[in-house]
Structure 1
Amino acid sequence: MNATSFPKSEMRVVLLEGISTRAEAVFRAAGYSRIETHATALDGDALRAALAQAHIVGIRSRTRLSADMLGDAKRLLAVGTFCIGTNQVDLDAAEALGIPVFNAPYSNTRSVAELVIAETVLLLRGIPAKSMQCHRGGWSKSALGSHEARGKTLGIIGYGHIGTQVGLLAEGLGMRVLFHDIESKLALGNAQPAPDLDTLLAQSDVVTLHVPDTAATRGMIGAAAFARMRRGVQFLNASRGTVVDVQALADAIANGHVAGAAVDVFPEEPEGNADIFESPLRGLDNVILTPHVGGSTLEAQDSIGVEVATKLVRYSDNGSTLSAVNFPEVTLPEHAGSHRLLHIHKNVPGMLSQVNAVFSARHVNIDGQYLRTDANVGYVVIDVGTGAAQADALRAELAAIPGTLRARVLY
């Protein structure tokens, strides 16, 4: 249990993996001066040493925060994953330690959507294969197999933030847009929901995936799904590598059922840039392969840096946990004129009455109180109009309540 509060001037922020300098600027503007940055991921003892002094840590996709790593980081208050995915963090362990984790689910939406549209045009024109022929000294000046995007049907599987953006951009090219999602979604523009996945696959000239990695989506596009697509379809996956059977895709391309593909994500990806990339899709002229860079633009990385750093600052300064991926979500007002106490505890019966008893015993009036729970953790925020010394004393008593995970007072 962590029961220590830190003034902002003493808090250490550690940012790994070359996170955008815009993130550091957000922290400095908020008054955080002890900022440590690393251009690459850390692991083993180096990561453990960096975490030992960190109150806030920011990572991207390559740093792994296991339960053991998190357990050894005694000062750690919050984690930011400066990307969409959070699989690199043991979220259950973080929650059990009272550590909220924040990510950036939307900041690279435009970047991914633009790449998908660009690749759609290239595939419909047969450019990947023509480009490779030119590289080998060939020259195939022909309109055979080359088509405009206008008038073609784009089938979007997964109509979330990225899928909707892809649809709107595609309509700007004159494409007809169909979409399929497991949830009912409001169609944007002239997009139409397909009655089912099979209908979308059968009617689409281009199929693009924008679904998360879940038990329901893993392996959802395999040999049977490719067989249901119309012959000559163009296929794109910029979502998650686990969704597609890449060997089945390679087979469908080899037999001509799939005319071309663009793939940015893979079931197995190299750990680092120096490692070898292996895939049955390698060497196929009509396939665009990219190294998981759908959201990797400078604009997206800057936006992600601002978004996640802002969430971390707001939690550290204010206690708000809005959009935390593993934690009860509380949106809090400012607390001018009050000291704010944060109490994170196991979600067991009677905890709130014990918290309130601390204030009642000291005859302290509560200016405001906010409580949210999930199945495992409770998070209560209490504003009191006391002096700093009494607020510290209250925090110490709150920390002594059995089942407390963390207790802080915001200076």
Structure 2
Amino acid sequence: MTAEAAPGPLQGLRVLDLSRVLAAPLATQILGDLGAEVIKVEQPGRGDDTRGWGPPFLEDGSGQPDAAYFFCANRNKRSVAIDFAKPEGAALVRRMAAGADILVENFRTGGLARHGLDAASLLRLNPRLIYCSVTGFGQTGPYASRGGYDFLIQGMSGLMSVTGRPEGEPGAGPMKVGLPVSDLFTGLYATVSILAALRHRERTGEGQHVDCALLDSQVSLLANQAMNHLVGGEVPRRLGNAHPNVVPYRDFATSDDYILVACGSDGQFRALCRLLERQDLADDPRFATNAGRNRDRRVLEVELAKAIAPWRAAELLAAMAQAGVPGGPINGIDQVLQDPQVIARGMLREMRRDDGTAVRVIGYPVQLPRSPASYRLAPPRLGQDTRAVLQEALGLGVAEIEALREAGVVALADARRAERMA
């Protein structure tokens, strides 16, 4: 059985996805990759915000193509367009929640209560439900009512205070990471926590409300920087591409490009010195240990920079690989997506939407030989599965669905394009 068709370890679980943008949709995509059935509930006429976050857009011959952003976190899902601001729409979602194993949402704290779709209401309806909320600041605390966005969280969490060029250098100042990492980290934590809650339900029969916050997730991943402060008392500062604990571990300029040098041990440092014909640095007592290299990093890095500068990048990286010195290039996105290692690991996948439009996506990053991730459904068109899901999950007839459509409670995607492509 191919990875495209494999059922996956979460087969048989139904996920009701009320989320949009990135953190929570990433979590539900992972559950879908691992075999769960994911039903994405979207606002009629608009859908997930990221459908419009372009250019670029995936041109499909329609008047409203979806933005590339949408495709990064929405495969292996079925799209149902329901307006749950209307009582009839909220009633449909409650009926779907009654038969779901997992519900994921990322509305502001308390935002779904007015529709009867909050955790307390749905857990009374379905005590086995794993209800996961993803918010900026969580369900409790003085910031609970605030909206949270990745950029704000990167700043508030301290991440930006250790990211960017040091004071005194050109371009100095705090800098966000080039990807929305606080969203991404939270999506991963949400997935792990949902799986833990499923294990608890397996033992006890109890569902629960899983409360995930962007700020909590990012603070937890301050890792060694936070521990440096808790143990050593110093406030970490921006070091550019240098490492707060390990030296040499940064970028260096060669004659034609920048490269990365990452010596994690004394032996690797000595090997680098031999390669650069700077045995004097390896023999210098100041640099014999990592603690010494850290203390006198400015002196050492100036000397290393002089020795590295005459080399061509490709030649030095090849020599470093042969000598067992960790190093690498700084790839552009185009380069990494053509890298033979990335391709060999199956990290690029081509899928086809229900209308035949092809789209390439980044694959699931873990090899599970006994229960592999699968690529069953390309990111859906808005509302493409409304009719089928309402029929299958709720047993609604054609006349009932048409009445809901006429009342503006649900929207049905234009199926004619898909039929022409069949």
TM class, shorter-chain normalised?
under 0.3
Greater percentage in helix: 2
Quick check: which one's strand share is greater? 1
**Which structure ranks higher in relative contact order (CA pairs < 8 Å, sequence separation ≥ 6)?**
2
**TM-score scaled to structure 2, two decimals?**
0.23
The TM-score, its normalising length taken from structure 1, stands at 0.24
